[in-house]
Structure 1
Amino acid sequence: MQTIPKRLTLVHQVEGILRDGIRSGQWSQYLPGEHELCRRLQVSRTTLRAALATLTRERWLRSARGYSRQIVKNRGLRQDSRRTGRVVLITGAPVDLMGGMPMILLDDLRQQLANAGFELEVHAGRAWLAQRPESALERLTRSRSPVASVLFSATASIQRWFMARGLPCVVVGSCHAGVTLPTIEADFFALGQHAARQFLSRGHRRIALILPALGMAGEAKMASGVLAVTGGIKDVDVRIMEHDGTAPVLRRRLEHLLQAGRPTTLLVAGAPYVMTVLSVLNRAGIRVPEGISVVSRDHEPYLDYIVPPLTQYAVQPARLARRLSRTVVALAQGGSAPIRSQLLVPQFIPGETLGYMSDKSTR
């Protein structure tokens, strides 16, 4: 009888990672505490406890003091010849705020690495946006000894540190100026060019780019793409409004922008920030797209519930996940990634929030 393959749940993935760690001798007597395991695996305590309960029933573990779990010795070491080790992912974005696309990448990467005998360990948070991350990177690589690293939403300082040391890594996103590392990225320069042409074809001459000032290269590439198209046109005004990634600062700066010669269209980088922008416009009584047009550089499933339908760009998550997982597994196994950009061209989704200037009630 033919069977149907089942999609592994997150609990099953965690079970597999813990079994692999026990087989390989990563932990000798006790598992780390629940808090530490949740941090390393980037899962909730509920998910972790479900996986631990299964391994306890299967006699991989036994309950010990407090919340620790003792490893049962007779399970034996890994018998296969696959190389094992740890891959670390470093990101300046808190995982719980990363949205659907990054979580899809994380889930697929964690599963593919586990299948190949590797553990994925996520180190996330705004601390990685510091201007001088060198000491923290030294401590991390010394204490965790990763076989490869994934740099997600990484600053120029982090990218240059990895390049200078020649450590195996791949950048999810764009490289900063002067950095040559393997990358998997959306083509934000082409996106900026396309968006600029869409604005001009609809009569827009006052364009504003809403960007988080978090030191990411993708924002600069998008701005360069817009300016490459609009730079030679005299009556076009392109303004770049940066914010620190928090809702209060974004709200204040957007309110100031609207008072100082209101633009006719906004290109917003970062799906969560689109929600803040739309809320500020609604509070100010500015209708979209009649009073101002709004386009999102990024797509998340929740944006599909906005009315009117949002004009946005999207990259297929599954396609990006496949490329990332293949590259990282190859690096972890001792291979090499080509020093070039693997570009994915975002799809333009027209929506209804990008209007023509003839439709605007406010000029």
Structure 2
Amino acid sequence: MKLPQRRSLTAETAEVIREMIRSGEIKQKLPGERDLAARLQIGRDTLRTALAELEKTGWLSVGEHGKRRQILKKASSKQAEHRSRRVGFLSPKRLEDLPPTMLLEIDHMREMLARKEFSLEFHTPAIFSLKRPGSRLKELVDSLQYDAWILYQSNEHVQAWFAKQKIPCMVRGLAYPGVKLPSLDVDWQATGFHAASLLMRYGHRSIGYMVPDTQLQGLFAAQKGIENAVANASGDVTLHTIVEQGTAEAVATSLHQMCHEPIPPTAIIATRSRQVLTLISWMASHQLRIPQNMSLVSLTYDNVFDALVPGISHYTMDRATIARGGVRKLESVMKGQGLDEKLLIPDFVLGGSVKKYGA
């Protein structure tokens, strides 16, 4: 799919849409205006003018409020047989809301797919809050005709639908129990186990695990690894699971409650980089310091860690390596192969945020 040029933008947009119909890239119904405008990288006013022209020339049905336009002209059979050589990236978060490390991974994947003459297109449909997203997903998948999909931070309903419909896809993350889809992710269970074991080797017997209030399988895997490490420890170890609601205020409230427990934690395992920043600022406001008053390990990495003193002990994974694994997985999926789970082991960086308890 080419993008419309700036010259005669309305006419060029109409021609691009006609070509998408001729090639079979879109079928039966036109995608929604917001989605189509984002794909073509144009404003919705320009798109609406182009669509009005296509209605007049008989390519599309007249638009009605709340209904998608029907495609009235069909692709030739020869063109329709040609695959799109496009991959869709399905996410509950907008591109600008993703963490920098994930944006870097997507950029690497775009470049690697482009070298194989594939494009990667990003979508954030309003389906992730639906308990029964099937009809909306069917419209989306049927209209776009991608060769494969990447499901990022997808909930169980979305994963289950793709699995049931046998749509070529891979989960960028972990599949839910009972959902048979190929997946690629960091081995969070092994990472959690290592982090808890490290803190216990440093003498910590009361450990906090901070987790956002979301149902992502990677978080459950990390918690399982931490719990396994605690269960295998010699002697008593107290584990505090701290669930926070995704804001700095919620993290601060959780920290306050945790520190007033009968056996408060002497070390914390964070699952999000924002938790690290809130923890540091909250402790500073209470005249507490890391690691003197609290040791800290982060299961994830953010570039801002490089500017912090002391350095944060954390786990990191080269994003180009993950992207390369994702492209290989996609190639296997499109061939009907590689339907397994692929787990990657991150590197551990020991910073100055961990000290021996009592030292």
The equivalent of 2:70 in structure 1 is none
Does the CA-based 8 Å contact 1:281-1:287 persist in structure 2? yes
The equivalent of 1:109 in structure 2 is 109
- CA deviations on 1:167-215 (whole Å, 9 max, x unpaired) are 1111111222222211111111111111121011100011111111211
Q: Give the alignment's TM-score, normalised by structure 1.
A: 0.75
Give the gaps of 5 or more residues in structure 2. Answer: 6-11, 23-30, 54-78
The equivalent of 2:260 in structure 1 is 259
1:273–1:348 Cα change, 3 Å: same
1:121 Cα deviation after fit: 2.4
1:255–1:138 Cα change, 3 Å: farther
Give the gaps of 5 or more residues in structure 1. Answer: 1-12, 50-63, 71-78
The equivalent of 1:335 in structure 2 is 335
Does the CA-based 8 Å contact 1:212-1:243 persist in structure 2? yes
Q: Distance in 2 between matches of 1:87 and 1:326?
A: 13
1:22 Cα deviation after fit: 5.2
Does the CA-based 8 Å contact 1:113-1:119 persist in structure 2? yes
Aligned with residue 297 of structure 1, among 293, 296, 299 = 299
Does the CA-based 8 Å contact 1:39-1:122 persist in structure 2? no
The equivalent of 2:38 in structure 1 is 39
SS in 1 for 2:19: coil
Count of aligned residue pairs for this structure pair: 316
Does the CA-based 8 Å contact 2:4-2:16 persist in structure 1? no
The equivalent of 1:274 in structure 2 is 276
1:163–1:208 Cα change, 3 Å: same
1:183–1:265 Cα change, 3 Å: same
1:114 Cα deviation after fit: 3.8
1:136–1:125 Cα change, 3 Å: closer
1:217 Cα deviation after fit: 0.4
Mapping for residues 144-183 of structure 1, pairs under 5 Å: 144-183=144-183
The equivalent of 1:250 in structure 2 is 251
1:125–1:289 Cα change, 3 Å: farther
Q: Distance in 2 between matches of 1:195 and 1:293?
A: 12
1:309–1:82 Cα change, 3 Å: farther
Does the CA-based 8 Å contact 1:129-1:214 persist in structure 2? no
Q: Distance in 1 between matches of 2:130 and 2:296?
A: 31
Q: Distance in 2 between matches of 1:247 and 1:296?
A: 16
Moved more, 245-254 or 202-211: 245-254
Q: Give the alignment's TM-score, normalised by structure 2.
A: 0.76
1:99 Cα deviation after fit: 1.8
Mapping for residues 18-167 of structure 1, pairs under 5 Å: 25-26=19-20, 36=35, 39-40=38-39, 83-124=83-124, 128=128, 131-167=131-167
**Once the two structures are aligned, what percentage of the paired residues are identical?**
25
- How well do the aligned residues superpose, as a CA RMSD in angstroms? 3.6
1:125–1:105 Cα change, 3 Å: farther
1:207–1:129 Cα change, 3 Å: farther
Does the CA-based 8 Å contact 2:108-2:319 persist in structure 1? no
Q: Distance in 1 between matches of 2:16 and 2:125?
A: 28
1:339 Cα deviation after fit: 2.2
1:289–1:129 Cα change, 3 Å: farther
